[in-house]
């Protein structure tokens, strides 16, 4: 049985506030954009909710989309200093010569974004930009920034709106921070049990 009672949830950003911010962000993306079709690539699983909202708003700005997803896994980032990222599911869209926007839920150490942009650049897109819903600059290991950022957040563990803890809470329509009660053995490392 899952021990939800050991976790303390503290609301961080309401559903209303995040929708308002995404509206502003999409306006920014739309005004910078100058291609024919835009390929948006979501990093699964965390970006699924953000992607769904972004794509519906880009439609309202009359931007024709090609939508694809990519899955990356990082191995041993707790114990191995390299924190190597590999692509376990690649895009199937031909992005050569296209405008591409890579979407992720959160920019943390920066490893995922670094490796995935490097991978996508080999496919020769005309333009490759990045957009993250959240940015946690305090935890950066690789010097990388996203072109579009929804919210800068403090170094706390966040769930909801696609982000998980131990594969759970992705479905929350708002953002919450979580901490652990004394009885939880995971309390010492809030960054231990999330998946991509």
Q: Which residues pair with 74 in a beta bridge?
A: 85
For the bound state, the minimum distance from the C-beta of residue 107 to ligand IMP, rounded and expressed in Å, comes to 5
Number of residues lying near ligand IMP (CB under 6 A): 18
**Residues 68-107 as x/- pattern, contact with ligand IMP by CB under 6 A:** ------x-----------------------------xxxx
Alpha helices in the chain (DSSP H): 15-32, 48-60, 111-121
Place of tokens 């899955």: 71
Q: Tell me the closest approach of the beta carbon of residue 18 to ligand IMP, in angstroms.
A: 15
Q: Considering the rule CB under 6 A, would residue 119 count as an interface residue with ligand IMP?
A: no
Other C-beta atoms lying within 10 Å of the C-beta of residue 180:
18
The catalytic site residues sit at 108
Asked if 111 touches ligand IMP (CB under 6 A), the answer is: yes
Beta bridge partners of 106: 134
Q: Residue 31: is the preceding peptide bond cis (ω within 30°)? A: no
* Residue 130 interacts with ligand IMP (CB under 6 A): yes or no: no
Q: Classify residue 81 by burial, with Cβ atoms within 10 Å: 0-12, 13-18, 19+.
A: exposed
39 binds, among Mg ion, ligand IMP, none (CB under 5 to 8 A by kind): none
Q: Does 148 sit near ligand IMP (CB under 6 A)?
A: no
**Closer CB to ligand IMP, 38 or 102, in the complex:** 102
Under DSSP, the state recorded for 163 is B
Among 99, 133, 148, 157, binds ligand IMP (CB under 6 A): 157
Per CB under 6 A, the list member of 25, 49, 109, 170 interacting with ligand IMP is 109
Report d(CA 40, CA 98) in Å as an integer. Answer: 10
């Amino acid at each position: 049985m899952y021990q939800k009672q050991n976790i303390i949830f503290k609301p961080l950003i309401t559903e209303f506030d995040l929708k308002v911010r995404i509206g502003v962000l999409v306006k920014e993306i739309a005004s910078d954009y100058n291609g024919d079709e835009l390929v948006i690539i979501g990093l699964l699983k965390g970006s699924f909710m953000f992607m769904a909202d972004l794509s519906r708003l880009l439609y309202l700005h009359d931007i024709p989309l090609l939508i694809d997803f990519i899955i990356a896994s990082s191995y041993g980032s707790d114990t191995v200093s390299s924190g190597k990222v590999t692509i376990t599911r690649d895009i199937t869209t031909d992005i050569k010569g296209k405008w591409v926007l890579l979407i992720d839920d959160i920019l943390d150490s920066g490893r995922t974004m670094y490796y995935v942009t490097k991978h996508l650049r080999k496919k020769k897109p005309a333009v490759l930009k990045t957009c993250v819903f959240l940015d946690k600059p305090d935890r950066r290991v690789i010097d990388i920034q996203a072109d579009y950022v929804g919210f800068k957040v403090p170094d706390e563990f966040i769930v909801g709106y696609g982000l998980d803890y131990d594969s759970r809470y992705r479905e929350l329509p708002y953002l919450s921070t979580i901490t652990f009660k004394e009885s939880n053995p995971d309390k010492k490392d809030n960054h231990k049990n999330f998946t991509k």
